[in-house]
Structure 1
């Protein structure tokens, strides 16, 4: 179903307890290689992987974007290294509403994107507005808006 003129959006999840989703990311990379040209625009939704996964995807598909959700506050060290490995021009922010709740919220909404950006910014030694602007520009580029 992949089309060269449209982004391929991948929502990849591992088995319960597989917080890094490594096997799924590697398996999906092999499957995508079989059907897409290296120029394909790809969005890896809800990325929670390690730095080697970021590098592998970008090596094969340089137009891969990685969406980081409100789950980033619970990232372990390998996942934080994965976040740091994402080039700023390939970083997207996501809330994955209504799934990832913030604080005492009962429902997740896109209104919490600022909080996600703030946590990402803290890990990348950046300012929150910088991350928001960067992710917005990247989304426009990915979707040709």
Structure 2
């Protein structure tokens, strides 16, 4: 970790909802997350695109990882609802309820909603419970349509600039002719989000870079 930090990296340690590890893996995880060099716990969360018989285990794993949470780490959350477009916020809302009742999270926790695809109906509810939340967007938003995803688009348009982050989620969501994504393609995420918000992509890239620095380096709320 020291060599990564020396090159400007910020360290996050997580237990992805699609991960099924051994007891040895869990011991390694708890050792890593207790390190003072670790800035964030994540990704953790729920992924409803998996078979329903895995959902309860995912919830148990998320509860278990939250038990390791110290007072400072940023909480990085992964959420994917099922492909049923009638319930796009179900997974995020379930995470919200679990976290609001967990004693180690707390209302003032710095939170990063990774690859956020929630609707405008969810966003105010989330911020009411966790006001120090940042919302990350990838170029996946290019697939949103006014017909099928109007509430998701509205959430992006109404999001406060100081709460926004841009992500590539490399190697996924390739764009610009690239088969696989890399951090170097972050500008494509800025381009797609800027198109939705009717803002210059370069301005958005600058704002979100400042937000990321404030969250992960300075450890300050939005």
Q: Same fold (TM over 0.5)?
A: yes
Q: Does the 8 Å contact 1:99/1:108 carry over to 2? A: yes
TM-score under structure 1 length normalisation: 0.91
Question: How is 1:1-145 mapped onto 2 (pairs within 5 angstroms)?
Answer: 1=66, 2-18=69-85, 21-35=88-102, 36-75=105-144, 76-145=149-218
Deviations 1:23-56 (A, max 9, x none): 1111100111012211100001000110121111
Q: Does the 8 Å contact 1:19/1:48 carry over to 2? A: no
5+ long unaligned stretches in structure 2: 1-65
Matches of 1:120 and 1:3, distance apart in 2: 33
| Number of residue equivalences | 145
- What displacement does 1:18 show? 4.4
* Larger gyration radius, structure 1 or structure 2: 2
Show structure 1 runs of 4+ deviating over 3 A.
Answer: 16-21
5+ long unaligned stretches in structure 1: none
Q: Does the 8 Å contact 1:8/1:42 carry over to 2? A: yes
Structure with more relative contact order (C-alpha pairs < 8 Å, separation 6 or more): 1
- What displacement does 1:122 show? 1.9
TM-score under structure 2 length normalisation: 0.61
Matches of 1:20 and 1:129, distance apart in 2: 34
Matches of 1:125 and 1:18, distance apart in 2: 26
- What displacement does 1:108 show? 1.1
